[in-house]
């Protein structure tokens, strides 16, 4: 099994052992996030104009904050340009396919950016740790994944991979928050509960994954994610730095005056069914 060139030998020790307690004020966070989201819109227009194909992978432990940063990236963008892909459990048919096959249809066409909320790296993580795949399937993935990614890059896709690193103490706090908050219950699955007892196994799996797939052509970028606000700002700022772009010239839009409704009589409001004004 061939190994990718590991240019970051110290990455296995990068996950913080203690919770990061550094704070950032809400005012500063919202101000900086607003600036970054304006830049994301500029990037979106550049992607459309230049017909770029962008793939961004978000991986990391459960409750590491992947969904939060994906939401902040996509919320100001056109969903026809920026798509979020979060695949569920593979079907029985998909289990018989070439492993990467279920991900290929979601890859971008020209003028699109796709954000994968977890990706083909499920095989190197949860599938391997929970024994949802065979040892042979796991080793085959580790051997062929760098080749697959090189194929994507040669096809013109810009591939960016993020690993969200969170301490065990912070993860525990976030799990408890999901239990206490009814609006977050859906974020906590039985698999998340089981993963708490397999912290060491997931750490080893992540180290091994980096050993084979942190290549020169497709490196991993680690986001220190104990502080959600800092992680979001740092990740978005880094993403913008990885894709050279400039602001696209656009003509200023001017609203034409509304035409008068001459000779048109609107039907009475009483003919319509309105939503009750509870609030």
pLDDT tens-digit series, residues 110-120 = 999 999 999 99
At 195, the pLDDT band (50, 70, 90 cuts) reads: confident
Higher-confidence position of 157 and 18: 157
The answer, yes or no, to whether residue 265 has pLDDT greater than 60, is: yes
pLDDT reported for residue 12: 43
Alpha-carbon distance of 218 to 210, in angstroms, equals 11
The answer, yes or no, to whether residue 9 has pLDDT greater than 70, is: no
Alpha-carbon distance of 126 to 132, in angstroms, equals 8
At 22, the pLDDT band (50, 70, 90 cuts) reads: confident
Alpha-carbon distance of 94 to 197, in angstroms, equals 29
**Which range (23-37, 73-87, 161-175, 210-224) has the least confidence?**
161-175
For 221, the enclosing helix (H) or strand (E) is strand 220-224
Domains of the chain: 9-255 (3.40.50.300)
pTM of the model: 0.85
Q: How far is CA 236 from the centre of its chain?
A: 11
Average pLDDT score, the chain: 90
Q: Is the dihedral of CA 200, 205, 211, 213 positive or negative?
A: negative
Q: What is the mean pLDDT of residues 12-32?
A: 73
Cα dihedral: 33, 34, 40, 42 (round 10): -150
pLDDT reported for residue 21: 64
Alpha-carbon distance of 198 to 147, in angstroms, equals 29
Token reading at 39: 């830049």
pLDDT tens-digit series, residues 237-251 = 999 999 999 999 988
Alpha-carbon distance of 196 to 171, in angstroms, equals 9
CB 58 within 8 A of CB 231: no
């Amino acid at each position: 099994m061939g190994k990718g060139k590991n240019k970051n030998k110290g990455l296995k020790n990068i996950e913080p052992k203690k919770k990061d307690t550094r704070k950032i004020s809400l005012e500063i966070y919202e101000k900086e996030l607003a600036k970054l989201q304006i830049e994301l819109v500029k990037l979106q227009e550049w992607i459309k104009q230049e017909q770029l194909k962008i793939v961004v992978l978000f991986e990391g432990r459960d409750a590491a904050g992947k969904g939060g940063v994906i939401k902040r990236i996509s919320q100001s963008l056109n969903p026809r340009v920026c798509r979020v892909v979060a695949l569920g459990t593979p079907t029985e048919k998909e289990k018989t396919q070439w492993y990467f096959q279920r991900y290929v249809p979601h890859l971008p066409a020209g003028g699109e950016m796709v954000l994968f909320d977890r990706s083909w790296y499920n095989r190197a993580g949860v599938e391997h740790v929970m024994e949802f795949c065979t040892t042979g399937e796991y080793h085959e993935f580790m051997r062929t994944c760098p080749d697959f990614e090189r194929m994507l890059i040669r096809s013109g896709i810009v591939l960016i991979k993020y690993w969200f690193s969170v301490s065990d103490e912070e993860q525990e706090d976030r799990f408890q928050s999901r239990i206490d908050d009814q609006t977050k219950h859906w974020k906590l699955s039985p698999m998340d509960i089981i993963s708490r007892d397999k912290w060491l196994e997931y750490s080893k799996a992540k180290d091994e994954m980096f050993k084979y797939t942190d290549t020169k052509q497709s490196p991993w970028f680690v986001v220190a994610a104990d502080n959600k606000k800092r992680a979001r700002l740092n990740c978005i700022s880094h993403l913008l730095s990885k894709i050279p772009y400039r602001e696209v010239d656009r003509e200023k839009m001017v609203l034409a005056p509304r035409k008068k409704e001459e000779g048109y009589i609107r039907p009475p409001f009483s003919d319509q069914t309105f939503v009750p004004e509870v609030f």
